Structure 1
Amino acid sequence: MSKSILITGGAASGKSRWAATSYSHYDYVLYLRTGEAVDPDTLHRIEYSNNQNGVEWDIVDKVYEEPAAQIGDHKFVIFDRLSDYASIVINRMCPDISKMDDDLMKSIERRIISDVEQMRERIRELNGSMIIITIETGFSVPPADPANIALRKILGSVNQRIANSSDEVYFSASGIQFKIK
């Protein structure tokens, strides 16, 4: 039975560590990192776990579009991070933030959700499991600049939709994860 899991929380709250630990005994896991390269601590943790458990993971970083195309036949996927991916899609679809309006915002939300659903569909076909990592938008100071205002609105909406359609949802705070769904 396939499973879709979302973990949300503040920056540096232990989300990536928890995701990597959750799949540490599985072989042929795909770690998809959007935006910049996998941070050295997470990379070290994955390599150590692989050596200890005799498993091998594939790591793909700098995923900027069509993340489902990267999955191939991997039954276990960690998508790190939905929040960075949302920022990438916003910049691609609206390079001039002054042109952002409600219709474009909704279109961007649909694109992000569609990309997540394509990944989930592939995982269902493989009868696998996927962990989606995101940043919780509700705990920070409201942003003042237009780009971060748009990101917060879009990501807040996307997070809610993805959480509602996930099989399980976890919240991470200070390195402790709480199952909330």
Structure 2
Amino acid sequence: MDNKPLVLITGGARSGKSTFAEEILKELEGKVLYIATAEAYDDEMRDRIKKHRERRATNWITHEGYEKLYDVIGAYQNQVDAILLDCITLLITNLMLKQELNWECITPEEISSIEASVFEEIVRLVNVCKKAPVKTVLVTNEVGLGIVPHNKLARAFRDIAGRINQYLAKEGNEVYFVVSGIPWKLK
């Protein structure tokens, strides 16, 4: 049984989804666990991470990482008033790239195996979130509105992320789609 809502916020890159998610939770006067899944692979990402850190409220606790987040949520769920995970698509990317493979030569069976492994992580994460006694907000990118990617890695990512987003939307109590900074409530 769900104790508090599981909220999914989706939209395109730079649509305002993270800002909207943060605004929802800034109204709380208590502590928020902010789970940031980005990895600083280059200067551009380091700058984005820096800007996100500067935007966070001072009463928020930050966990940066992408592995076994169900354990992190389990450890903090009774110490905070809400949880924000930003973002699911970077979590998926990190879990996929953790597999050191030649993505241009990967077989459909190998892609299915990777998807099953990533999906298992997401299901465990959702199960913990749904049992948590606090509101949980998940941010993800909508990846299905563009052209079909040229390379196998991008196509595999789009397919896996798309199916995971469908699962999250089904499991969520509330779902928002953000376009140009404007949130539309879908569910």
Bin for the TM-score computed over the shorter chain? 0.7 to 0.9
TM-score (norm. length: structure 2): 0.82
- Tell me the CA shift for residue 146 of structure 1: 1.6
Residues 16-53 of structure 1, C-alpha deviations (whole Å, 9 max, x = no match): 10111111133221111112366333323223xx4xxx
Q: CA RMSD in A?
A: 2.0
Which of 168, 171, 180 matches 1:162?
168
Q: For residues 86 and 144 of structure 1, what CA distance do their matches in structure 2 show? A: 19
In 1, the alpha carbon distance for the partners of 2:123 and 2:163 equals 15
Q: Provide the residue aligned with 2:113 in structure 1.
A: 107
Q: Count residues in correspondence.
A: 173
What is the identity, as a one-letter code, of the residue corresponding to 1:160? Q
Q: Deviations over 1:68-103 (max 9, x none)?
A: 222212342111111111111111235321353333
Task: For structure 2, list consecutive stretches of 5 or more residues without a partner in the other structure.
Answer: 41-47
Q: Identify unmatched segments of 5+ residues in structure 1.
A: 51-55
Specify the alignment match of 2:155 in structure 1: 149
- State whether residues 94 and 100 of structure 1, in contact with CA within 8 Å, keep that contact through their aligned partners in structure 2: no
Matched, 1:46 2:26: no
Structure 1 stretches (4+) deviating beyond 6 angstroms? Answer: none
Aligned to 2:66: 64
Tell me which of 89, 98, 102 is aligned to 1:92.
98
Q: 1:130 to 1:99 in 2, by over 3 A?
A: farther
Indicate whether 1:32 and 2:35 are aligned.
yes
Q: Partner of 1:143: helix, strand, or coil? A: coil
Could you tell me which amino acid in structure 2 is paired with residue 59 of structure 1? T
- Length-normalised TM-score, structure 1: 0.84
Contact 2:33 2:76 in 1 (8 A): no
Percent of aligned positions that are identical: 27
Closer, same or farther in 2 for the Cα pair 1:135/1:124, shift >3 Å? closer
